[in-house]
Amino acid sequence: MPDRDVTITTVQRELTAFARRARHKAAQIHPELSLVTYTLLDHMRESGGCRGTDLAEHFLLDKSTVSRQTGVLERLGLIVREPDPDDRRGQILRPSPDGLRLLEEADRQRRTSFEERFTDWDDADLARFADYLRRYNAAG
C-alpha cells in the first residue's frame, strides 16, 4: 500500500492534469472562451438563469471577475440579459440560442471523449470512480 503522502501527491498531480485538459477542451470549443467563462455559461443553463452575484457566490469568484467574463459572453452573443423580476435594478443572465447550441455541442464532444477514455473500464470500476468523484466533490 503506497504511503498516504505519495498517494495525495498523485491525486493532486492527476487532478491538475485533468484541469489542464479541461482548459484545453474549453479553448477548442470556442477560441475566445476560457474554462471559467465556459463554466459560467454552463451554470447559467443549469440554473435556468441567474444574476452575476449568484455566479460569484457559487464559484467563489470576485464580482469583477464575473463581470469581465460575462462581458466576454455577451460580446460573443452567447448570453442575454433580462430584467430580474424580483429586483428591477438587477439582471438575470441566460444563455442565448447561440450559447445553448455551443453548450450542446460541447456536451456531445465531452461525452464522446469520456466514452473513449472509459472504453476499457468495466462497469464496476466506472461506478466506483463516479462514486469517488461524487464523494470528493461533496466534501467541499
- For 12-59, give the DSSP string: HHHHHHHHHHHHHHHHHH-TT--HHHHHHHHHHHHHTSB-HHHHHHHH
Query: Which pLDDT score, from 0 to 100, does residue 28 have?
Result: 79
Task: Summarize pLDDT for 47-99 with one digit per residue, the tens.
Answer: 999 999 999 999 999 999 999 999 999 999 999 999 998 888 889 999 999 99
Architecture of the CATH domain 4-112: Orthogonal Bundle (1.10)
pLDDT at 100 over 90: yes
Using alpha carbons, select from 78, 104, 108, 81 the residue that is nearest to residue 92.
81
pTM of the model: 0.80
Task: Summarize pLDDT for 14-31 with one digit per residue, the tens.
Answer: 989 988 887 777 777 778
* Predicted confidence band of residue 135 (pLDDT cuts 50, 70, 90): very high
Element (H or E) spanning 93, and its range?
A: strand 87-95
Phi/psi region, residue 96 (left: phi>0; alpha: psi -120 to 50; beta: rest), is beta
* Predicted confidence band of residue 42 (pLDDT cuts 50, 70, 90): very high
Mean pLDDT of 104-120: 91
Domain boundaries, the chain: 4-112
